[in-house]
Amino acid sequence: MIARLEEIGRALERTGAGVALLGLGSAGQALQRLDDHSDLDFFVIARAGSKRFFLDSLAWLETIQPVVFSFLNTADGYKLLFADGIFYEMAVFEPDELANIPYTQARVVWQEEGNALSFATDNKLPPALQQETSVAWLVGEIMKRARRRPWPFSIS
């Protein structure tokens, strides 16, 4: 799982539009919680003006592994499933947006060489859970929870 996150960092670097990759949750500072049933949560920090590049297409991620399921679950990011069964939660922000984004226990996985930006490991406590009820959101939540248990079917 850590190797996959590092692959994502290298894919982000190859785009030329990324500034950093931050791991969160069990992919952040809480690496001891990472196991075979974990999802990988991360923030892509995009170069100013490049956020849409990452939100409009997941092709940069598909250089690692085919994406078999994805949906835009917020204005800033996706929940997605790679063909090998690893589930991801990804959000994309530009550096000036980070001050307004709640997150805790982040870990810098990759940062553009020579970049002077510093990233706080904690920003704010997460906001209260908002009730979303769209079909795409609900299916994404089911897929996330199912990932924590052995799959009763194969993904192909």
CATH number at residue 81: 3.30.460.10
The string of pLDDT tens digits covering residues 115-133 is 766 666 556 544 554 556 6
b/e per residue 72-111 (b: at least 16 CB within 10 A): ebeebbbbbbbeeebbbbbbbbeeebbeeeebbebbebbb
> Does 155 fall in a domain?
no
Q: Is 153 a member of any domain?
A: no
- Note whether residue 154 is domain-resident: no
Task: Calculate the alpha carbon distances from 135 to 44, 67, 89, 139, 151 in Å.
Answer: 26, 19, 17, 6, 21
DSSP string, 89-145: EEEEE-GGGGGGS-B-S-EEEEE-TT------S--BPPPPPP----HHHHHHHHHHH
Residue 82, both tokens:
């790679």
Range ranked top by mean pLDDT from 19-33, 86-100, 101-115, 120-134: 86-100
Could you list the residue range(s) of the whole structural domain that residue 75 is in?
Answer: 2-147
Residue 122 belongs to some domain of the structure:
yes
Whether 60 is in a domain gets the answer yes
Number of structural domains in the chain: 1
3-state helix, strand, coil in the chain (%, to 5): 30, 25, 45
Structure tokens at 120: 């706080």
Band (pLDDT 50/70/90 cuts) for residue 140 is confident
152 belongs to a structural domain: no
Q: For residue 156, is it within any domain? A: no
At 47-76, the pLDDT tens digits run: 999 999 999 999 999 999 999 999 999 999
